[in-house]
Structure formats: C-alpha cells, structure tokens
Amino acid sequence: MIKSYILPIMSLLASSDLIAQTSYPNSRKSDQVDDYHGVKVADPYRWLEDDNSAETKAWVEAQNKVTFDYLNKIPYRAQMKKRLEDLANYPKYSAPNRKGDYFYFYKNDGLQNQAVLYRQKGLDAVPELVMDPNKLSAEGTTQLAVFNLSKDGRYAVWGISKGGSDWRTLYVRDMATNKDLTDSIEWVKVSGAEWQGNGFYYSRYPAPEAGKELSSKNENHQVWYHTIGTSQDKDELVYEDKANPQRFHFLSTSEDERFAYLSISDRGKGFDGNALYYRDSKSGDNRFKPIVAEVGKYSYSPVDNEGDKILLSTNDGAENNKVVLFDPASPAKSNWKVIIPEAKEPIQGVGTAGGRLYVSYLKDVASRVYEHDYAGKLIREIKLPGIGTVGGFGGLQDDKYFFYTYTSFTFPPTIYKYEIATGTSSVFRRPEVAFNPEDYETKQVFYTSKDGTKIPMFIVHKKGLKLDGNNPTMLYAYGGFNISMQPSFSSTLIPWIEQGAVYAVANLRGGSEYGESWHEAGMLQKKQNVFDDFIAAGEYLIKEKYTSKQRLAIRGGSNGGLLVGAVANQRPDLFKVAIPQVGVMDMLRFHKFTIGWNWIAEYGSSDSAADFKNLYAYSPLHNLKAGVNYPATLITTADHDDRVVPAHSFKYAAMLQAMHKGANPVMIRIDTNSGHGASNMAKALEGIADIYCFTFTNMNFTPKFTGGGVGNGKKGF
C-alpha cells in the first residue's frame, strides 16, 4: 500500500487569498440596443461576436491571463493533472468491425492525443497500422472524424477535423496498398460518407467567406457524389434546395448499396422530424421517390432492406418508436406493416447483423436489448452485466458473430463477442484501469420536481459515505434535444469520487429517457421544466444530506451550459460553484451563427413574439442582475468551437463580471486550437483538472493524493 499524505493547511489559506485577490479585465460597453417586438434589449458586448477583431483577441488574452494566473496558484493543480493522467493511462480499444477478411479497430495506448486505427486479418493475427492521426499535426489536435470502407473493402474515404472544428476535409485511400489517392473534398459538414458503386455521397456547404469560417451562418446544405480518382470540381450535385436554405440534407445507402436514402430535416422552421426519399438502383429510375414527402413532426430512419422492401424505424403514430416495413409497390402509410410495435419503454436504436434485428430499449435510463427476426418474432433478450449502457449491436448480413460494448459509471467499457446462432456473449477485451470498482457504489433515486413529476437521478460515491451534508458534490445534466444521459464510464470521474466527493447525473425532462413526451415536456414553451428539474435535484441532494449549499457544484456542456447558466441565475443561493461549458448563453441571437438555426425546433426563435417572451425570460445572458452574489463560476469555451460559437461565452462572461457582487470568482477559460469538445487527450485532461481544482478550491476543500497516482494500490478489471 502506498502511503498517502495530506496537503498542509496553507492550501486552505491559498484558497481564501485567491478569492480575495480576484480582479477582472475591463470589458468595454457599447450602446447597442435591439428592438424585439417592441421590447428594447441592450447588447453592450455585441463587439465580442467578432472573434477576428484585435479588440476581441486582446480581451481573450486578458481574460485567460486572469484565469490561468488564478489556476496556477492552486497548490495541488499539478497533482490533480498527474492523477488524471495516471488513471487515463491504460489501453483503450473500440469494438472490432469486420470488412471482408479484415477486422478494423481503434486503439489508444493510454495518453495518446488521438486513437490510432488498426486492422488485422482474423482475430488472432498481428494488427497492422492503418492510420495514426497523432502524426497529422504537431499538437495532436487534428482528428480522424470520418472513416468508411467501400462495400468490398478496397477503398476507404477518410476525413479530418482540425483544431476541433466541425468542418471536414475528405480523402480516399487504397486499402490494398494503404496509400492515399489524389482525391480531396473540402467544406464538408453535418455529413458522413456513404459508398455506392465507384464513389460516395457526402454533404457540404458552399465555401464560407474567408476569415469567417468559424462563425458565419451555414446555409444551402448540398448532397454531392464523388467518383474516386477525380477532383472535387468534377463531383455531381445530387440534391439542394435553395428555396429552403436552412434544411439539412443527408444521404445514406443500404448495406447492399441497392438503395440510396435522402433524409431532409428543417429544424430551422421548428420541425422536429424529417422527410425521407429513396432511390432504387435496380429500377433504372434515377429519381428520388418519397417514402414521406414532407418534413413534419415525425422521424423516419431506414434500418435495412429486405429485397425490394424497406424496414424503417419511426415515431409516426408511436411516441416510443416502432419498426415498420415499407413496400414501394404499395407506398401509402396505411399499407405499412408493423414489425416491432411500440412498447412502454422507448426504442433507442435498431441494428442488424446476420439476418437479425437488435432492438435496444431504455428502461429507467438503463439499456435493454432484444433480438428479433425480420418478421418481428422475438428470439431472445440479450442478458447484460447490469444497469448500464450498451452500444454496437450491429454488423453485416453474413456475420456469424459481432461485438458490442457495455459500460456503467464504475464499469469501464468492456467489449463482448456475441455469437448469433447461440445468443451467447463472452468477454473479448476488458480494460485494466488502476482503481477498484468494488470501493464505489451507484444508486438510482427518483426525486420530485416542482410540478410533482418524478425525475430519475444516478448518484455515484464511495461505499460507506457519511450523509453528513459535508461532501463535495458535482451535479451534472443536459436536459434537451431528445438526448438521454445514460450511465457510462470515464476515468476522469475517479479523481473526483475517490476524494469522498459525490457525482450525480439528473435525467431531466427534455431528454429521451422516457420517450418523446419526456422530450416535449422540456422544450420550447416548457423549457422552464428543465430548470425546475435541475433545481429540485440540487435541493434533493441537500435535503438527503449528501451535501450542502457550500459544497454543491453544477456542471453541463452545450445545451447543458445553457442549463447551468439559467439555473445559476434563478437560484444563485443554491450552488457554490457553476461550470457552464460551451453553453448557448444568448438565446436571442443563437440562430444567427453557423448552424444555430438548427436549434429553433428545440428552443423557438426570437423572431417570433411568443418565443421571444419565453426565451427572454430565461436567457442566461439577459437575466443576470446587478449586485447579486453569483456562484463561483468557471465558464469554458474554445476558439475553434463552430457549433456553439465562443461569442456566447464571451458575452456572458463580460456581463457576469459586470453584474456580480461578492467574493466568489467568476472567470472564463478559453482553450486554443480546440472546439466544441477537447481536440486531443492532453487538452481534455487539462480542462478537467482545472474544473476540479477550481471547484474544490471554492468549496474550501483540500483533496488528498496518493504518491505515484495509483489510488488505493488495487487494480480492477
């Protein structure tokens, strides 16, 4: 057992000194005022929207200096980062995917900035390197964002993202020689790459104005077809809709490449569903024909084709989703045949492999998977190790087996091999992480929100935790866009909970935990339900003596950053620390940048008088009040975030610093050469270390570290 030691009391004094000495750069106020349906709204920091201006760049530099000067004074910052690195330093594998004679998989040796792509000829062969993204940039911030093999496995289209941007550049590789061809396709966004014949489909936008690549509004999403071995200017325009410039157009193909499916969505006009068209390469007719001709409320996704018929997953007439069979010879909805009917639990996904359907459900936020034949007959339930999350139930039609991954909060992602004929699962690869999962427990509770709705929440902590109201607690949530917060493992959680701290994940309305009704109860005019659910989660943790107001932190990213900002405004007294990450903070102007218009279906738009009133009531930027003692706040964003542009966080930080009154520090941490998520492993670990250090410091809590960074000396898994 490695002997642990306690940091000296001077670290507590340092925390007080940090708080007392905080001062902020000056943020110039302009006289910008906008008229929204007769309401005058000031926007004094509009100038911060110009991320290329010298003034904005100087502001960013000044803010980062204050923030990093503060963080550098935290005595245990280096130890926290070292602990995170030690725990993350284990081999991480993806599940193998077969194509022809080869199995392809990703592996990170431990602390590599990017996972490396390998393949091997058979499961027992020696792996060979396919692609190492770490060599694509000096900092390791260029990511392999796309990799898709042709049907015969001879060619691969692969794409990169630089510095965390959502823009992609695509290339083509000859897998027989593992050498690239001359092909290069630019300005790809919101797109995969789908093979058919001697080329592939992709979606892109027209090239943006120079200097505004990361902020200008993206419009006119086009589908193109690229023939391998040709230049991009020879590509065929397959589909565009200039009359509806804020629509997404995405084309996918069936495994046998017979069908091409064109999905059209228009969330900019408030539609949550999509239209779906198909093109049958065997018919001799090159036109796209409608399965569902108009964009509307419901969603339709192709699952597979059974000959000339098409299996679809849809919520049309089934809030929790169902699987139907579409026959092009009798296309009317009244002729659609139900294969998998709607159930009490929402369907989360439908995969295929070996001529079987694998339907995953969510029951109280935990995965359940069932195997069916293509006629819908139930074959078996797939037994899982416990309450957790699975992924990867799918493969090729001639597969005899495939691989899936199971994980939970204290269960590292474990890869299982599934034999289709027998329905048996066996461990294929289990990671070795330097912690003992038996030292921790996860419980699920159901607490009551403001309107009486029962909300589930996972709580993770050390076994034997004393409920004395004194435990540092991090409350995390998302609450939107039909996305569920399911149990999953991250080694970055361990340095938090091993300190005797609590980690809680609240499954707020707005997600998909209980189907579309759960989603709709937390969107548009009902968005306040999400904030009420989050506040009630904090009150529950305090009431049940997990923590106190002085030891409770809230954290969330993107839509979750909006959540944290809104709730910190509404109940600044309830939380000691707030961590809004890459948040949507200006709810009146979000739709004016990059693909922000895509969120109108979820939030509404300030262009509508009714929506404006609702948005204005909770917009984090517009509901800060002068003279309020807000929680200690660390806002995080990055210079290459072209999804939620950093102007949201810039303006919010400037306004918060102007309005805040009290000893709690309110700061912004602006990462460089990174995007909506960290662009490499090093940046991810540095960011988490700073969040933990900022949080512990402002809770007046001193973490204890073990020498060598091996925790309790035990090795699990």
Q: Are residues 560 and 609 located together in one domain of the fold?
A: yes
Does residue 575 share a domain with residue 484? yes
pLDDT at 438: 95
Do 415 and 524 share a domain, yes or no? no
CA distances for 688 relative to 11, 81, 496, 531, 643, angstroms: 20, 8, 10, 24, 21
Q: What percent of the chain has pLDDT over 90?
A: 90
219 located within any domain: no
How many angstroms separate the CA atoms of 157 and 287, rounded?
25
541 shares a domain with 395: no
Q: Does residue 406 sit in the same domain as residue 479? A: no
Verify that 443 and 386 share a domain, yes or no. no
Q: How far apart are CA 63 and CA 67, in angstroms?
A: 6
| Number of domains into which the chain is organized | 2
pLDDT tens sequence across 682-713: 999 999 999 999 999 999 999 999 743 333 33
- pLDDT of 41 > 70? The answer is yes
Cα angle 188, 163, 45; round to 5:
95
| Best CA proximity match to 554, nearest among 503, 480, 484, 615 | 503
Q: Rounded mean pLDDT of 611-632?
A: 98
Instruction: Examine the residue annotation and report whether 558 is marked as an active-site residue of this protein.
Output: yes
* Of 713, 716, 715, the residue nearest 4 (C-alpha): 713
User: Tens digit of pLDDT for each residue in 285-315?
Assistant: 989 999 999 999 999 999 999 999 999 999 9
Whether residue 7 is predicted with pLDDT greater than 70 in this model: the reply is no
Cα distances (Å, whole numbers) of residue 151 to 104, 156, 160, 294, 310: 14, 10, 21, 31, 19
- pLDDT value for 706: 75
**For residue 154, how many other CB atoms are within 10 A of its CB?**
14
For 361, phi and psi rounded to 5 degrees? -115, 165
Burial label, 433 (beta-carbon count in 10 A; 0-12, 13-18, 19+): buried
One-letter identity of residue 1 = M
Residue 715 has what pLDDT? 30
Question: Of the listed 558, 605, 619, 674, which one is catalytic?
Answer: 558
pLDDT of residue 673: 84
Strand partners, 147: 158
Q: Which residue range(s) make up the domain with 42?
A: 4-86+439-447+467-705
Catalytic residue among 249, 461, 660, 676: 676
Query: What is 639-688 written as a DSSP string?
Result: TT--SS-THHHHHHHHHHHHHB-SSS-EEEEEESS--SS-SSHHHHHHHH
Confidence of residue 407 (pLDDT cuts 50, 70, 90): very high
127-157 tens-digit pLDDT: 999 999 999 999 999 999 999 999 999 999 9
61-89 per-position pLDDT tens digit = 999 999 999 999 999 999 999 999 999 99
Both 499 and 421 in one domain: the answer is no
**What pLDDT band is residue 453 in, cutting at 50, 70 and 90?**
very high
CB 87 within 8 A of CB 435: yes
**406 and 443 co-located in one domain:** no
Render pLDDT for 176-230 as a digit per residue (tens, 0 to 9).
999 999 999 999 999 999 999 999 999 999 999 999 898 899 999 999 999 999 9
Domain assignment of residue 452, yes or no? no
47: pLDDT strictly greater than 90: yes
Determine, yes or no, domain membership for 251: no
* pLDDT score, position 270: 85
Indicate whether 11 pLDDT > 50. Answer: no
Confidence at 531, pLDDT banded by 50, 70, 90: very high
The neighbouring-strand residues paired with 457 are 445, 506
Residue 19 pLDDT: 46
For the chain, the first-to-last Cα distance in angstroms comes to 19
Is 230 part of any domain? no
In this predicted structure, what is the pLDDT of residue 50? 94
The average pLDDT across 111-123 equals 95
395 and 506 inside one domain: no
Share above pLDDT 70 across residues of the chain, in percent, rounded to a whole number: 96
Active site residue 372: no
